[in-house]
């Protein structure tokens, strides 16, 4: 259906008003909300993710597209039963304790939502215990942690250790990222994955949840 394609294109150009109008229009034509989500909004974000990965677009374009995506999702949300959008799984993410840098983490949240995950964003300066607590309580499958400072990286280890202590390692997977973080560091602290950028993080989380 052409309208779905139009939604995807309007989303890619960051046009919130147009996305909202098109979503309302297409819902009037009895198209299923899930199809609007998958073939309109998520399809558009997939293109954005791909272009971002290939350095064809940069952060401003992604942020604009994300705004349009959220606008569209807000229209769809009330239409799903039990208040729940169909998702690929729940991910808890945040910037670790002591670190207030959240641009990278926010970008991962955008890409995850854009791929169809349910994201609980704990924000920045998140204590290790909170990651674990919320993940358990909300039955998340993955914890994603970000750090920009070399000094705050050890807080990631603390989260992994807490999961191990409670016998949750393997059940709740962990992925880490951020400018100073490396795949070596992930292995060293026993995290399940390292995402070198936001798109790569989503690819890894897809692998961790299937």
How many helices and strands, by DSSP H and E, does the chain display? 10, 5
Q: Which is nearer to other proteins, 3 or 63 (CB)?
A: 63
Burial class (CB in 10 A: 0-12, 13-18, 19+), 159: buried
Other CB atoms within 10 Å distance of the CB of residue 91: 29
Q: Which is nearer to other proteins, 138 or 188 (CB)?
A: 188
Closest approach of Cβ 185 to other proteins, in Å? 5
Closest approach of Cβ 64 to other proteins, in Å? 5
Q: Which is nearer to other proteins, 33 or 72 (CB)?
A: 72
Q: Which is nearer to other proteins, 38 or 61 (CB)?
A: 61
Q: Which is nearer to other proteins, 32 or 179 (CB)?
A: 179
Please give the residue ranges that form the binding site for other proteins (CB under 8 A): 14, 55, 57-61, 63-64, 67, 97-101, 103, 125, 150-155, 157, 180, 182, 184-185, 188
In this structure, the chain runs to a length of 210
Q: DSSP 3-state helix, strand, coil percentages of the chain (rounded to 5)?
A: 60, 10, 30
Burial class (CB in 10 A: 0-12, 13-18, 19+), 11: buried
Closest approach of Cβ 21 to other proteins, in Å? 18
Residue of 169, 209, 165, 168 whose CA lies nearest to 191: 169
Q: Which is nearer to other proteins, 86 or 180 (CB)?
A: 180
Closest approach of Cβ 1 to other proteins, in Å? 29
Direct distance between the N- and C-terminal alpha carbons of the chain, in angstroms, rounded to an integer:
30
Closest approach of Cβ 115 to other proteins, in Å? 20
Burial class (CB in 10 A: 0-12, 13-18, 19+), 193: buried
Closest approach of Cβ 201 to other proteins, in Å? 15
């Amino acid at each position: 259906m052409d309208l779905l394609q139009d939604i995807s294109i309007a989303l890619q150009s960051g046009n919130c008003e147009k996305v909202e109008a098109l979503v309302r229009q297409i819902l009037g034509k009895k198209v299923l909300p899930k199809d609007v989500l998958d073939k309109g909004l998520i399809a558009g974000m997939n293109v954005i993710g791909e272009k971002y990965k290939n350095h064809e677009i940069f952060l401003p374009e992604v942020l604009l597209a994300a705004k349009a995506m959220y606008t569209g999702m807000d229209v769809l949300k009330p239409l799903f039963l039990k208040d729940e959008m169909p998702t690929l799984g729940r991910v808890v993410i945040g910037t670790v304790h002591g670190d207030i840098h959240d641009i990278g983490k926010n970008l991962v949240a955008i890409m995850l939502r854009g791929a169809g995950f349910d994201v609980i964003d704990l924000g920045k300066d998140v204590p290790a215990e909170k990651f674990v607590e919320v993940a358990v309580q909300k039955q998340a499958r993955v914890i994603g942690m970000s750090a920009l400072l070399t000094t705050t990286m050890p807080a990631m280890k603390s989260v992994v250790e807490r999961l191990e202590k409670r016998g949750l390692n393997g059940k709740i997977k962990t992925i880490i990222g951020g400018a100073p973080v490396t795949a070596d560091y992930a292995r060293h602290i026993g995290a399940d994955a390292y995402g070198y950028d936001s798109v790569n993080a989503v690819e890894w989380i897809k692998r961790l949840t299937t």
